[in-house]
Structures are given as C-alpha cells and as structure tokens.
Amino acid sequence: MTAASELSFFASADGDIAYRDTGTGDPVVLLHSGYVDHRLFEAQTPALAAEYRVIAVDVRGHGWTANATKPFRWADDLADLLRHLDAGPAVLVGVSMGGAVAGDTAMEYPELVRAIVLSGSSVSDFQYTQEWTRKIVAESQRTLYSGDIEGWLKVFLAGAGGPFRSPDEVDPRILDHLREMALHTISKHTPGERNWHVPMTDTWARVPKIDVPVLTVNGALDSPDLLVDAERFAATAQNGRSVVVEGTSHFPNLEKPEEFNAIVLDFLRSL
C-alpha cells in the first residue's frame, strides 16, 4: 500500500489536492472511482511508471484531498493541478467516476489532454437504465444519507461484484481493499452534508468534438447499460475504440490487473 508520506500536495484555491507522482516520461494521470482514492491503482502505478510519469490523484473530497467548501467542477480541479505540475497534455486514465472526470476534462480543457482511457464509465451525466444498477444507486444514496455506513458498505461492495455475481464471488482481498479506501473517504464526511460538486450537462453533445484517441475498457460482467454507453462513447468520439475484459465487472484493473495493464500500455505505446 502507498504510504501517505509518499503523497504530494497542491494548494488549490479550496484546500490541498493530494497526488502521487512517480516515474519519468510522458505524463499519465490516474483517476479513481467514487468513494476510494489513488490506492485503487496500486497494481497499475509501478507497471506504468516503468515507462511514464504517473500522477495518481485523490479527487476532491476523497482520500487525502480536502473536502469542498464552495462549488467546484472536477475538470477545473484537474486542470489546475496539471498546470501546476506542467504535466499537460497528459493521458487521462479513469475508472468509473474517474472516467467521468477524464471525459469532462477532455471536453473543457482539450489542450491539456493527449488521450483518454475510460473504464466502467462514459459521460459524466450518464443516466442508468438497467434495473439492477438503478436499485444499487438508490440504495447507496439512501444508506449513505441516513448514516448507515455498514449498510452502505454492503451496497458499495455489491456494486463491485456487478449484476451477475454476488460479492462472495469476488476475491476477498479486492473487497477488503475497496472497504478500507471507502471507510477512509467516508470518515471525511457527515451524513446529509452539502454536495458542492457542479456537474456538467449535455455531455453527449460534446463527445463528437473529442479528437484525441479514446479507449474504453469495461468488464464483461458489469452493468449492461455501462457497456452499451462505453461502446457509444468510443463510437461517437472521433478516434475511439473499446475493449472488454472477460470475467470481470466494474473494476477490471483490480480483478485482472496484468491484462488491464497490458491493454493500457499497448494503447499508450500507440500514441
């Protein structure tokens, strides 16, 4: 596990943004899913840092990054950090929420983005249509805002298994890793607190303008609506393609890290 002492901090206009910066070469930015932190990429960071400068970020309100105290957008935070680090244009690799951050940034700050990899995600204003996914999202919100942390964790980990498996069918080490990160992030917040994040809207209309290479990587056992929209994103961007990792759900980078790393490295080397 990454020690907090290995993190660096950028003093943004609304508190510190934490990140891990390792390796040399062209910059690759790793953007984690919701409720966790940069440690989601423990298996990716050393593999990618052998050839690239890898910057693994804690998104605002997650991990060791400050909570918001005023309205903010993901893309603005990331753009400020990339400029501070003189790290653009960078390849953005995002899982779930992190993929939404990557897509938003490509739309808002194309000069800072060289390519994007989206895993388990599409646009940031994605609308769930599959019944299982809608139930998971609704139950997650209910338990979180009521302060039922144990109930929320159960729902969160069910999401990691996907609609076609129970959490018991996922490697318990993966679930323990997700649980540890989630508890750390949740401990920074209080039930029912104000959400200062300002979402982008009408993002599908902007996807055709994305002219950098796009790769979507999804687990074959993930929610079908996510798979459909990942395919749509890749087909709608000017230079996109999609890959499916068999036998995995929402976190192919955790369930099959070597395969995920090989896919991402092949993409990076093609740029």
**Could you read off the pLDDT tens digit of each residue along the chain, which spans 271 residues?**
445 558 999 999 999 999 999 999 999 999 999 999 999 999 999 999 999 999 999 999 999 999 999 999 999 999 999 999 999 899 999 999 999 999 999 999 999 999 999 999 999 998 888 888 888 888 988 888 888 999 899 989 998 999 999 889 999 999 999 999 999 999 999 988 899 999 999 999 999 999 999 999 999 999 999 999 999 999 999 999 999 999 999 999 999 999 999 999 999 999 9
Structure tokens at 223: 């929610």
Please state the pTM of the whole predicted model.
Answer: 0.96
The type of residue at 262 is: A
Task: Give the per-residue pLDDT at 4.
Answer: 57
Q: What is the CA radius of gyration of the chain?
A: 17
- On the CB side of 156, how many CA atoms lie within 13 Å of its CA? 25
Contact 98, 31 (CB under 8 A): yes
The type of residue at 186 is: I
**Residue range 4-128+197-269, CATH number:** 3.40.50.1820
Task: Give the per-residue pLDDT at 5.
Answer: 56
Query: Residue 221: CB partners within 8 Å, gap ≥ 6?
Result: 162, 163, 164, 165, 247, 248, 249
Residue 164's nearest CA partner among 223, 228, 79 is: 223
What's the rounded Cα separation, in Å, for the pair 197 and 182?
19
Phi then psi for residue 138, to 5 deg, are -65, -45
In the chain, which residues fall in CATH 3.40.50.1820?
4-128+197-269
What's the rounded Cα separation, in Å, for the pair 233 and 192?
33
What's the rounded Cα separation, in Å, for the pair 239 and 3?
38
* 271-to-20, 128, 212 alpha-carbon distances in Å: 23, 32, 10
Structure tokens at 246: 């068999």
